[in-house]
Each structure stands twice: as C-alpha cells, then as structure tokens.
C-alpha cells in the first residue's frame, strides 16, 4: 500500500482521520520497537495539518488540549506506548536552530513524529515514513498519504483495512 486518498468533509472528519492513523500506529503488524515513525505534513495554511495531528495525539492517548507549537517549534506528549512530538517549523528562521535544540535526539527510539512545514528543516530531519498532503477542495479537504518506507507501507495497509 503506497498511496491512500480520502475526502474529509469537515473538521471532525479530519480529527477522525487522525484518530484512524493513531489506531493504525497502535495496531499495525510491525509494532514500533526502537524505531521512530515520522510523518511529514504538507499543505497550505489552514489546510488542516494541526487539526489532523490533534486527532493523532488524542488517538494515541492524550486527553488535554493540543496547541499548535508555532512559537516553540515542538510540543512533546509523553504517552504510552509512544512518545509523540508535534513539530511546526513554519517560523523556523534558520535550520541551525534545530541543531541547537538537539533535533536528532527526537528521532531516536519508540516515538511518533508529526512535522508541519518539513521543508524548513531541510537536511536536518529524519526521513519520512509517510508524507501527508492536505489540500483545500472547496469547503472540504483532501488528504493524500504516500508511504516512503516499509514501515509507512504497513501503516497505510492497516489504515486501508
Ligand atoms: P494548518 O495546521 O494546516 O495550518 P489548521 O488545522 O490549524 O491548519 O486549521 C484548519 C482549519 O480548517 C480549521 O479552522 C479547521 O476547523 C478547518 N478544517 C479542518 N479540517 C477541515 C475539513 N475537512 N473541512 C473543512 N474545514 C476543515
Ligand atoms: Mg498548523
């Protein structure tokens, strides 16, 4: 399974999609062991990247608010079994900032990373298991998920089942 596409009718459909991704991560046939799962989120402002991530973070067990890490660059969630890191690199001025924050350490071990505006971290991010594109379709949104690794493919297969 290399590519999946869905039409998301409204905000709640986007949150539900995020929850489905979370369930696929929790239940696909290759549990993350020491491996990080990395998703890049592409799409214009307002396309729904943060809304989708909110669904993922809640689906992985977080019960509180999910705020956009626009100024902090990353918001960590210490969940079980997976730690989750939500990055928003929109305001990143210099990729070196990522070096200063020890970006590589975020991609070690059993964690799930969702990264908005990954192109701003060009060259310093772990490569993506899944690349997610979100686009406006009138008042709705279209989400396209591309698997880039075997892990990504197995998560997409679970998502499709
Ligand atoms: P981004 O992080 O891509 O900039 P946000 O998730 O912060 O976008 O904002 C998306 C906006 O679009 C929110 O106002 C949300 O209510 C709305 N939205 C999210 N999903 C949908 C959808 N499927 N259809 C219509 N509106 C949506
Ligand atoms: Mg956002």
Q: Give the position, in ligand 1's atom list, of the atom nearest the Cα of 43.
A: 3
Distance 58 CA to ligand 1 centre (A): 16
- Residue-range domain boundaries for the chain: 3-160
> How far is Cα 130 from Cα 152, in angstroms, rounded to an integer?
5
State the pLDDT at residue 3: 97
ipTM: 0.98
Give the pLDDT confidence of 3-56 residue by residue, as tens digits.
Answer: 999 999 999 999 999 999 999 999 876 667 678 999 999 999 999 999 999 999
CA 57 to chain centre: 9
Q: Give the position, in ligand 1's atom list, of the atom nearest the Cα of 134.
A: 3
**Which residue has a Cα nearest atom 18 of ligand 1?**
11
Q: In what order do the strands lie in the sheet with 3-8?
A: 3-8, 140-147, 130-137, 37-42, 111-116, 83-88, 74-78
Q: Is CATH 3.40.50.800 the classification given to domain 3-160?
A: no
Distance 47 CA to ligand 1 centre (A): 5
């Amino acid at each position: 399974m290399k590519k999946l596409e869905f039409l998301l009718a409204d905000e709640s459909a986007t949150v539900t999609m995020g929850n489905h991704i979370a369930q696929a991560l929790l239940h696909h046939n290759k549990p993350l062991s020491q491996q990080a799962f990395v998703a890049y989120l592409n799409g214009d402002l307002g396309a729904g990247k943060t809304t989708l991530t909110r669904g993922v973070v809640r689906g992985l067990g977080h019960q509180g608010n999910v705020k956009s890490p626009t100024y902090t660059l990353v918001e960590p969630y210490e969940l079980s079994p997976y730690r989750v890191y939500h990055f928003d690199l929109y305001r990143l001025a210099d990729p070196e900032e990522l070096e200063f924050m020890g970006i590589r350490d975020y991609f070690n071990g059993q964690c799930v990373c969702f990264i908005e505006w990954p192109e701003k971290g060009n060259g310093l991010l772990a490569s993506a298991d899944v690349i997610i594109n979100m686009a406006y379709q009138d008042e709705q949104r279209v989400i396209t998920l591309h698997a880039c690794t075997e892990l990504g493919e197995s998560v997409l297969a679970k998502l499709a089942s």
